[in-house]
Structure 1
Amino acid sequence: MDGEVIRVVVVDDEPMVCAHLKTILGSVEDIEVVDAAHDGAAAVESVVRHRPDLVLMDLRMPGVDGLAAIERIVKLDGAPPVVALTTFDADEYVLRALRSGASGFLVKSTPPEDLIGLVRVAADGHTVLSPVATRRMLAAASGEDEARDRARELVGRLTERETDVLTCMGEGLSNAQIASRLYLSEATIKGYVSRMLVKLECANRTQAGLLAYDAGLISR
């Protein structure tokens, strides 16, 4: 996204929250809020219409909620990253959002200067979340047995080296960091990640990282 304006759609059923986000993000030259939607159905329509680079999605909304909207958006051709907005970082809704395809989450109380930086990071295709908070959510999540069995089935499709890469992803390492740890080139790691996402039926590396937790590759 270097040198380009990051086009963002914000989604929240509280117009004041949307206005607040628009004010913060609009204070810098490289971010533009192109639309604000107030429910999940409108969010999907907005993404189709505006083709943004990033969506900031509230999860708890009347009508079509954020979870349903995320599931629809990630299936669109050229789908943008979707970052969940939450009031509490241990909200089980956030875990469900990540499993549905969200590329990360932000707490609504994030300081303005941090929010701007995190939006840039997310728009560049990187995961935005707190590993500590993710561990707490996983530990508190219901239906763990089913998630574990499904994760182990999917991970069983991987080669030993791919499993090593997945473990590193679960620890939150970047491609460069994984390459350094495994003594491989970054290009090789990128190739592994692309193939693994297909094998694991994951929309993004965030989902793959969660699978690593569910499969027991990472200590909780």
Structure 2
Amino acid sequence: MRVCIVDDDPFVTTSLATILAAEPDVAVAGEGHDGNEAAALFERERPDVLLMDIQMPGTDGLAAAERILAAHPDARIVFLTTFSDDEYIVRALRLGAKGYLIKQEVATIAPALRTVMSGQSVLGDEVLDRVDALVSGLAASGAAALASAPGAERTGTTSPLDSLSERERAIVEQVAEGLDNKEIAAALYISEGTVRNHISAILQKLALKNRTQLAITYYRAR
């Protein structure tokens, strides 16, 4: 498989290139150090897999992935990062990334790339733990929201979002797209204070703790 590696630390890209080049079925097709280079590298090399960091100066990995996948929906992008941040995980999976690995798990990279080439997605152990925790929390909060939603018992509601008003659902959709309060206010022609009040009410209504859980609830309900 042909692999391109993008990380803002040249030492990391060189080290990963050395490790992967030692694998009999891996050829390193190129290296880059920011999101813009990642997009250009992908267009030039069309690798089987793009292995990329998330936090990079300028255009980050998530923005680069969004650009690449918009032009090439079948692109195989695997994130390799030091951060198992809930928001990053949600955004990466929403974009359509094929994997999310943690840099400390170096020995798992080559096997993970083979798994991706076989058509499956991969998550590092630490990431799986975070996803399991998020999903478990959502399952519990979703059940509570359904039980308390007005008319839920009568109408057979199957989604916690069914208890929201049209305006609230519009705000949830914007949150899931990654917009902040100022951007949501501009998009919906309301004040930031109104957005904050709506989000607080929505979180309370759905028994959720934060915007990340709200975004996951939205995508699970689609």
Q: How high is the TM-score relative to the length of structure 2?
A: 0.58
Contact between 2:6 and 2:13, CA under 8 Å: does it hold in 1?
yes
The residue number in structure 2 matching 1:38 is: 33
SS in 2 for 1:8: strand
Give the deviation of 1:95 after TM superposition: 2.0
The residue number in structure 1 matching 2:182 is: none
The residue number in structure 1 matching 2:170 is: none
Q: 1: CA distance between counterparts of 2:89 and 2:31?
A: 21
- Cα deviations by residue, 1:137-189 (Å, 9 ceiling, x for unpaired): 56799xx99xx749xxxxxxxxxxxxxxxxxxxxxxxxxxxxxxxxxxxxxxx
Q: How high is the TM-score relative to the length of structure 1?
A: 0.59
Residue 67 to residue 19, structure 1, CA distance change in 2 (3 Å): same
Read off the aligned partner of 2:130 and give its amino acid letter: A
Higher helix share: 2
Give the deviation of 1:124 after TM superposition: 2.2
The alignment yields a C-alpha RMSD, in angstroms, of 3.1
Residues 1:28 and 2:23 are matched in the alignment = yes
Runs of 5+ consecutive residues of structure 1 not aligned to the other structure: 1-5, 151-209
SS in 2 for 1:126: coil
Contact between 1:40 and 1:69, CA under 8 Å: does it hold in 2?
yes
> Looking at CA atoms only, which structure, 1 or 2, has the larger radius of gyration?
2
SS in 2 for 1:35: strand
Give the deviation of 1:89 after TM superposition: 2.6
Residue 123 to residue 65, structure 1, CA distance change in 2 (3 Å): same
Read off the aligned partner of 1:49 and give its amino acid letter: R
Contact between 1:95 and 1:138, CA under 8 Å: does it hold in 2?
no
Equivalent runs, 1:87-166 vs 2, <5 Å? 87-112=82-107, 114-129=108-123, 130=125, 131-136=128-133, 149=161
Q: 1: CA distance between counterparts of 2:97 and 2:59?
A: 16
Equivalent runs, 1:67-82 vs 2, <5 Å? 67-77=62-72, 79-82=74-77
Residue 111 to residue 67, structure 1, CA distance change in 2 (3 Å): closer
Contact between 2:20 and 2:28, CA under 8 Å: does it hold in 1?
yes
Residue 212 to residue 104, structure 1, CA distance change in 2 (3 Å): farther
SS in 2 for 1:85: strand
Give the deviation of 1:86 after TM superposition: 1.6
Q: 1: CA distance between counterparts of 2:65 and 2:136?
A: 23
